[in-house]
């Protein structure tokens, strides 16, 4: 039985809109803001307004609204029916815009990683309150990197408010977003089960943006250190249920990653595609033919490398779409989300670095965007869980072992 790998036609509008933005807005200013780190790209305000206008008119692909289309629906789906909803559209939108510039994509107002967190675990009432905010996500702390269970930031209930104390690092869009989704523990004695996520306005008493990081790549995207000191927020700003279920662990919070890891995989796929297309153009200009009817070993070495990388690219793309499709159809996708992130993250760095190598001095210079894509791609193999973390999660799922049994 054959498998139809074509995208549903209804997603074409998302692809067209995102690619137009990437080609006409992102690419022309990509180098400009790479060289002007921390400058806010004012061109994105127009794009955000356009997306909002199209969304209000019902003409925008769901991926253009930063995950707000992933909001829950009470309508039952007919038995046997499948959905291609907000997750797939958001991932496709991410791929196309990352083809233009992944740093600019991460900087678009109201499309922060925190928006995916809100969509994943918020109640219906919280979706009404926070569904249209611009939300960054604050997880990592100075004392840990990929081990999300090691959160030391605390949230202490005091009457009708939670009091947050702690420091977060590497917060993408942390100084620009209107709100921050903060991971904190409501009871340190209960371990990872007590870790919850909270929506905190950025301009709020007790919230301080300490500094912005200087980075290897995605320089246009601000990366902030944020300190929370006796920061009081309403108790209903805790996303999802406030109950601590020690048997369930912190699966509710980790569900966020099942949404965001395919998004990051989509970023890597978009950057890899940009690099492959540029390499193909340069090979064509050099008269190097790529013949899919001949064995790669019988072709020019550069052509053989291109064919190898293109195969890896296709595998990454399909992994990513599968994980997003499962999320839309309410199928557990923790394994597939980690597989997509691991495969695409590694493939993205491999392809972009190899393209720099194959294009030589031209690729290493700033005459092309190739060297920038190589710098940008590295973070996509690190944030939202490193390559090693993804492989550990995959092993646990495949072997049916918990975190205590397989470390």
β-strands 179-185, 223-234 pairing: unpaired
The single residue of 96, 278, 310, 384 carrying the catalytic annotation is 384
Tokens of 98: 């990352």
Tokens of 232: 């009081």
Query: Would you say 80 and 253 are in contact if contact means Cβ atoms under 8 Å apart?
Result: no
Residue 314 annotated as catalytic: no
Query: Would you say 100 and 75 are in contact if contact means Cβ atoms under 8 Å apart?
Result: no
Residues taking part in catalysis? 384
């Amino acid at each position: 039985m054959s498998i139809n790998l074509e995208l549903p036609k209804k997603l074409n509008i998302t692809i067209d809109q995102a690619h137009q933005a990437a080609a006409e807005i992102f690419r022309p200013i990509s180098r400009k803001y790479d060289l002007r780190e921390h400058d806010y790209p004012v061109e994105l305000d127009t794009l955000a307004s356009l997306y909002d206008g199209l969304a209000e008119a019902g003409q925008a692909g769901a991926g253009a609204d930063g995950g707000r289309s992933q909001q829950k629906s009470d309508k039952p789906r007919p038995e046997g029916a499948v959905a291609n909803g907000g997750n797939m559209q958001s991932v496709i939108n991410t791929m196309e815009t990352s083809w233009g510039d992944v740093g600019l994509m991460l900087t678009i107002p109201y499309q922060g990683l925190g928006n995916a967190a809100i969509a994943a675990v918020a109640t219906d009432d919280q979706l009404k309150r926070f569904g249209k905010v611009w939300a960054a996500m604050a997880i990592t702390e100075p004392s840990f990197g990929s081990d999300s269970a090691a959160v030391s930031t605390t949230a202490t209930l005091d009457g009708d408010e939670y009091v947050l104390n702690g420091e977060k690092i590497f917060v993408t869009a942390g100084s620009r977003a209107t709100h921050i989704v903060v991971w904190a523990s409501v009871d340190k004695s209960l371990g990872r089960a007590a870790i919850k996520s909270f929506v905190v306005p950025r301009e709020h008493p007790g919230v301080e943006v300490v500094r912005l990081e200087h980075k290897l790549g995605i320089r246009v995207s601000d990366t902030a250190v944020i300190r929370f000191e006796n920061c009081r927020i309403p108790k209903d700003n805790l996303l999802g249920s406030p109950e601590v279920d020690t048997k369930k662990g912190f699966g509710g919070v980790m569900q966020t990653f099942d949404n965001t890891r395919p998004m990051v995989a989509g970023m890597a796929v978009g950057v890899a595609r940009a690099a492959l297309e540029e390499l193909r153009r340069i090979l064509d200009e050099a008269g190097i033919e790529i013949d899919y009817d001949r064995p790669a070993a019988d072709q020019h070495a550069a052509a053989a490398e291109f064919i190898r990388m293109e195969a890896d690219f296709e595998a990454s793309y399909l992994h990513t779409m599968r994980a997003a499709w499962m999320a839309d159809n309410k199928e557990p996708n923790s394994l597939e989300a980690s597989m997509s992130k691991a495969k695409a993250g590694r493939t993205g760095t491999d392809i972009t670095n190899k393209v720099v190598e194959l294009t030589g001095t031209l690729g290493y210079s700033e005459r092309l965007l190739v060297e920038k894509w190589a710098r940008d791609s590295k973070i996509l193999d690190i944030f939202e869980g490193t390559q090693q973390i993804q492989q550990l999660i995959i092993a646990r799922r495949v072997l049916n072992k918990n975190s205590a049994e397989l470390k």
